[in-house]
Amino acid sequence: MLRSKFSFFPLIVLIMYMHSMSAVEPDDIQFDGNILTFPYVEVADEAYEVKFSLVPSAELDPIFCPILCVKLISATESSLSSARNPAKFDGAILSAPRVVSSGQIFTGTFNYLSNYSDEIYFSVDDASTAPTFSEEDRQLWTYEEMEGRFSYCQDNSLRWTSPIPFADFNNDGYIDIFFPIGCWQDDLPSNGGSNDTAIKSGMLFYCSNDLGVYRDCSSEVFGEEFIDTSKEGGKGGMIYHHNTEEPKDLNGDGFVDFVLSLNRDVHDGRRFYNTDNLGDYEKLVSDCFDGDEEKALEYSIHNLGHCNAWSEQYIFLSNGDGTYKNSRIPWQPHWGHSVRSIPNEVGGFDLISIGYGGDVEVARITGNEITDKKLDYKMYQNFDAATQVSPYVGGYFELDGIGYWVVDGIPREYIANFEDYSEFNLETGFYGTISGIAVWKWNPGIGFEFSDYHLPPPSDFFLYEGRDGKKKTGLYKRGVPQLDGGGYYSFMKKALLDPAEGEILIVQGEQQGFIQNTKRTVPINYVAQRGSESNWDENGLYGVNAVEGFHIKDGKIVPREKSIIEGDVFFKSDGMHFRDINADGFDDLLIINHHGGIYLNNGLGVLERIDAETIKPDFNLVWPFSRDITTPYKPFVAHTVFWPLRNNGTVDLIFQEEGTNQNNTPHRKLANGRYSAGNAGVVRGNYLVETLPKISVQSVMNRWLECVNSGEMYPSSCPL
């Protein structure tokens, strides 16, 4: 750890900058140029606010003050009820865990000088620059404290997605956190279980106090210890956080609401049913409908094969008093991938859910009640054309005061020069629509009016051979070849990257690309290949996602010339979340994936990556796994999320261990034969985000290659 003199004299000059440069919090030790204030000091069972003044060099023997001495001028009862990382005095040593100084944070200790009796003096004994993430201010919850206390989660638990810190739900100025949890209620097929295994799915909700200390407040806020998204007989579903709409006030009571996107498409070894096979059809009727064929026939034959991925959809609606109602939306279970809110003609919001197999559902929010509105919407102008599209929809965006419905899927009849693309397959796979951005003006109570579309020119497309031996179509996006994946325009968000240009639409796909030389030209006759875990090949495909920006003005969509992010690519991105972290008027970006990601706006409307990997704490050293397990192992933190939880220019770190759904992971097996997740928690960040180190796309790739070539990890485990 870096050692430095803990001199307060320079602060007299720098104090005018302290509040703009430092993330000062109520329990932080502060200096106003003359007085050093400890807002909260624990002394035995009491808490005091303690103030010191600087001691002139001639007042004490210099031998006792090699760095600095201070003199006690007051000690009164603390006005704070608690502190998250308190200063402490044990009779000899006064510890100072957070002293904020000119954009830096120090930790230190003061020695009580007992040889003086006329005044109370302390000498600065040690001062060190605090680490980027605190080594002491860390909140930890074990599996037993979380889902392990529920009987239905004691055989296995999987935290399939990352913690979700999307909003301040209780309006206290701090961001609250959802931990999504799924617990399989039977073995999966790989272990002899059902192909339609139910999940007991839901959330635990953690809210903070006025100091940013978190606790499980699920019962207090939702009236449920386990916020159940599988109740009322449902088979559960895991949240698609990467394609879930940002929380917003949907019922107009001043509190944000949260509509979830749930399904059971969780890559857990189950297979879809083949409805062309009589035996498979009979099996799906038995598994998914308890043998009720009439109920099965309410769905299309095409959709039936996916019944083991279906989930019911839920929404968290505020009651207007700081509590929430967890409600099932009155739709049939379906394989949904996105639920989007859209303003209606009576001044509220309706919900549209788009899934595979033609599942388009609509509901209306009134207060905290929801009613089905699908039949009404079926009568709206162009409803089918605007909603029978790729399930990864952008949704509703207001740009320049006009409301648009933006989706991946252009009706073929609107493409003027479609014959120019005749050698390429551009279909989304849904209703003959073409993969590109379709822009519809939304007229509440009337319907959708086609406005414009974006389809790259034919010169941006190329052909290659897929792993199945069939001819495939790839696309260069900002010079980045995109192959072997889902839709080209899967995820869309609105952001203000540059106030001078206004809000723009930002789009990424769900494709694969090349990690080495991300903007290479794909050779003729290229055959797609995945990167091998044991033998990496530079031509192997990995999660390289190109990012583009678009202006939508006067109903027309135009590509942004300037890059969205330096290098134009994400690696293994699971969704984009734009926030102005440092309050400079420019949106920044947070990525939620296994490793977490932060991008800071450079003030010119381009996002630059923070080198989160070098500042991340070592979880294995800090929290050794202590539960009764059959085989010792190092805990593996599967999900980390960097987030501005305190809205003060810093980012904290949220983490969780993943768990298992396969019952085949030895290091998760307890002595009693159960399989479980591990710990979760929050680590306090100490520094303003603009002080954190940055890293270029090229440097990320170089570091990844060094990791791969070392042979110490599989390529997929090397950080990107």
Cβ neighbours of residue 53 closer than 8 Å, sequence gap 6 or more: 34, 35, 36, 70, 71, 73
Residue-wise pLDDT tens digits, 503-553 = 999 999 988 899 888 999 998 889 988 765 555 677 788 889 999 999 999
CB 450 within 8 A of CB 383: no
Tokens of 635: 């805990």
Q: Over 90: is that where the pLDDT of 136 sits?
A: no
Percentage of the chain lying above the pLDDT 90 cut: 60
Q: Say how far apart CA 386 and CA 44 lie, in whole Å.
A: 67
User: Which residues on neighbouring strands pair with residue 239, listed in sequence order?
Assistant: 262
Q: Quick one: pLDDT band at residue 635, thresholds 50, 70, 90?
A: very low
Q: Say how far apart CA 287 and CA 311 lie, in whole Å.
A: 14
Residue 81 CB burial class (10 angstroms; 0-12, 13-18, ≥19): exposed
CA angle 641, 642, 644 (to 5 degrees): 130
Supply the pLDDT for residue 533.
Answer: 53
Cβ neighbours of residue 20 closer than 8 Å, sequence gap 6 or more: none
Residue-wise pLDDT tens digits, 65-100 = 988 899 999 999 999 999 988 999 999 999 999 987
Strands annotated E in 356-433: 360-366, 369-372, 395-399, 402-410
Q: Over 90: is that where the pLDDT of 495 sits?
A: yes
Q: Quick one: pLDDT band at residue 245, thresholds 50, 70, 90?
A: very high
Residue-wise pLDDT tens digits, 655-705 = 888 776 655 555 555 555 566 787 899 999 998 999 999 999 999 989 988
Supply the pLDDT for residue 8.
Answer: 36
Residue-wise pLDDT tens digits, 188-221 = 777 778 889 899 999 999 999 888 899 999 999 9
Supply the pLDDT for residue 341.
Answer: 98
Q: Say how far apart CA 505 and CA 492 lie, in whole Å.
A: 7
Supply the pLDDT for residue 191.
Answer: 74
Output the CA–CA distances (angstroms, integers) from residue 78 to 85, 90, 576, in the order listed. Answer: 15, 17, 42
Residue 155 CB burial class (10 angstroms; 0-12, 13-18, ≥19): middle
Task: Write down the pTM of the prediction.
Answer: 0.91
Residue-wise pLDDT tens digits, 449-489 = 999 999 999 999 999 998 888 999 999 999 999 998 777 89
